[in-house]
Structure 1
Amino acid sequence: MIKNISDLKRDDMFFLLAGPCVIEGEDMALRIAERVVKITDNLHIPYVFKGSYRKANRSRLDSFTGIGDEKALKILAKVRSTFDVPVVTDIHTASEAEMAAEYVDVLQIPAFLCRQTDLLVAAARTGKIVNIKKGQFLSPAAMRFAADKVVEAGNDQVMLTERGTMFGYQDLIVDYRGIPEMQSFGHPVVLDVTHSLQQPNQTSGVTGGMPQLIETVAKAGVAVGVDGLFMETHEDPSKAKSDGANMLKLDLLEDLLVKLVRIRQSL
């Protein structure tokens, strides 16, 4: 299992973090993982299975948050052992870092929490790879300081993730200039394709999205030279319990990745 970011990086290929937004159950997690592992193995794409064990940032109180922390974390561990792939999950408070680190290889810091010093330090001290999502309210340059907090806490295994910048109240845009700018800090940069296409703050209290632009945003990121891609995928996004409006239907993943590999190989 990976202990260093170098285990994911290949000079000629991006790596992929992909899976459902949230762990809804064991069977669905294993089915999705099996499909993505087969695809990425065939295309020689380094792969990390993604699944949140709990969704702490939800628009409404009645929104689905998870099936239980321990239950979901054990499912992530089962995916890890069954398919011999690393796994990544989000943490939301400093107290969660040590608990989640027992089950996963990469701890992800949500965009809204990327400035939380105690959270970043707690994640760093686990020794796990730390993936920090750029806040929708921050410039790419400001992410240097978030990364520095992890490094100064004794952990140089840091990734930064671009996930769009607020554009008005209900839209996000990706400024692709930020990818090389953040790469200049010396850390791999990931493009979160699906969350960059969210339409937050809808009057219904349910976040919208533009999944029809997933291919466009992903192609541009690969062309710019991003190190990794993050995409949430589900067998039936219309029935997903979180972020279904901007997820990629699992049946579309292979064709998209084939196109993205061709772009990368042409650079």
Structure 2
Amino acid sequence: MIPEYLKSLFSHQSYDENNFFLIAGPCVVESEELVFEVADKVSTICKNLGIPYVFKASYRKANRTSLSSFTGIGDEKALEYVKSVGEKYHLPTTSDIHAHEEAAMAAKYIDILQIPAFLCRQTDLLVAAAETDKIVNVKKGQFVSGAAMKFAVDKVQKAGNPQVMLTERGTTFGYQDLVVDYRNIPIMQEIGVPVIMDCTHSLQQPNQTSGVTGGNPQLIETISKAAIATGADGLFIETHPNPAVALSDGANMLKLDLLEGLLEKLVKVRKVIL
């Protein structure tokens, strides 16, 4: 399901309305060159495959394992780059916000405010995001059931904003792993909002003793296929030209050169289940 409020953001794109939509980009804005390189390639692929596309890059990474980890190049500088990508390629854009005072600031630059999974119960953050009148994409906490996400949706809607989406990103399994319960996709759709599968963060291996989060990127295709097969409305995929040198989440990002082949397969799966 692509709701009308999301379709309006895709008005400059030609796409197949029966397709899933894609949110994709690098984990974080590392440089102007990186965001434009990724947006250029992904937008071309999506245009050729008829996939509606939202460009994603975090302007700051506030939740890092180590104090020495890269967090960003400066909030407004990074947001300017994201906004410029959207303007050049006629794409809607999204990024995370981490505190209620960031909502209004970020809303000047991006179209969709993303609420990080660890903050999905943060009432003041959800209300502040809602009050911008932007679309709000809430990631399901690793510690929350799909059914319980109705309370996050309620907070946004009761603040006067009906434009809500939910993203599944796995559930904590022990201390250093996540599992995906695909029952959450139809369960969250029953709340009445589009549901997106985060195909990269759901493969994280957090809390490593090295201080660097691990991952299983070789399973991105498996997670993605299963998500489409179970009816996900959209997919979230972080991608980078060279994940090995990425400054954040390199261990679970998809190499940019592999994205086209993956999306070609997923479009075929989508057509089979319709």
Give the alignment's TM-score, normalised by structure 1: 0.98
Structure 2 CA distance for aligned equivalents of residues 5 and 111 of structure 1: 21
Q: Structure 2 vs 1, CA of residues 131 and 245 (structure 1 numbering), >3 Å: closer, same or farther?
A: same
Structure 1 CA distance for aligned equivalents of residues 205 and 272 of structure 2: 32
- Give the match's secondary structure for 2:210: coil
Corresponding position: 1:92 with 2:87: no
CA distances 1:166-187 after superposition (whole Å, capped 9, x unpaired): 0110000000001000000000
- Give the match's secondary structure for 1:246: coil
- Residue in structure 1 matched with residue 140 of structure 2 by the alignment: 134
- How far has the Cα of 1:12 moved from its partner? 1.4
- Residue in structure 2 matched with residue 153 of structure 1 by the alignment: 159
- Residue in structure 1 matched with residue 72 of structure 2 by the alignment: 66
Question: 5 Å matches for 1:221-260?
Answer: 221-260=227-266
Query: Does the 8 A contact of 1:163 with 1:193 survive in 2?
Result: yes
Query: Does the 8 A contact of 1:3 with 1:129 survive in 2?
Result: no
- Residue in structure 2 matched with residue 55 of structure 1 by the alignment: 61
CA distances 1:195-228 after superposition (whole Å, capped 9, x unpaired): 0000000000100000000000000000001000
Structure 1 CA distance for aligned equivalents of residues 123 and 92 of structure 2: 26
- Residue in structure 1 matched with residue 170 of structure 2 by the alignment: 164
- Residue in structure 2 matched with residue 262 of structure 1 by the alignment: 268
**1:177 aligns with one of 183, 186, 201:** 183
Structure 2 CA distance for aligned equivalents of residues 6 and 249 of structure 1: 28
Task: Note the residue ranges of structure 1 that are not aligned, 5 or more in a row.
Answer: none
Greater than 3 Å deviation, 4+ residue runs: 6-11
Query: Does the 8 A contact of 1:194 with 1:247 survive in 2?
Result: yes
Corresponding position: 1:210 with 2:221: no
- Residue in structure 2 matched with residue 24 of structure 1 by the alignment: 30
Aligned-partner residue type, residue 173 of structure 1 = V
Structure 1 CA distance for aligned equivalents of residues 117 and 220 of structure 2: 19
**1:124 aligns with one of 124, 130, 133:** 130
**1:80 aligns with one of 86, 89, 94:** 86
User: Over the residues paired in the alignment, what is the CA RMSD in angstroms?
Assistant: 1.3
- How far has the Cα of 1:261 moved from its partner? 0.1
Give the alignment's TM-score, normalised by structure 2: 0.95
Aligned length: 266
- How far has the Cα of 1:5 moved from its partner? 2.3
Query: Does the 8 A contact of 2:16 with 2:50 survive in 1?
Result: no
Q: Structure 2 vs 1, CA of residues 153 and 215 (structure 1 numbering), >3 Å: closer, same or farther?
A: same
Aligned-partner residue type, residue 5 of structure 1 = L
- How far has the Cα of 1:11 moved from its partner? 5.1
- How far has the Cα of 1:118 moved from its partner? 0.3
Query: Does the 8 A contact of 2:138 with 2:166 survive in 1?
Result: yes
Task: Note the residue ranges of structure 2 that are not aligned, 5 or more in a row.
Answer: none
**1:39 aligns with one of 10, 32, 45:** 45
- How far has the Cα of 1:4 moved from its partner? 1.3
Structure 1 CA distance for aligned equivalents of residues 4 and 72 of structure 2: 27
Structure 1 CA distance for aligned equivalents of residues 185 and 79 of structure 2: 31
- Give the match's secondary structure for 2:87: helix
Q: Structure 2 vs 1, CA of residues 3 and 220 (structure 1 numbering), >3 Å: closer, same or farther?
A: closer
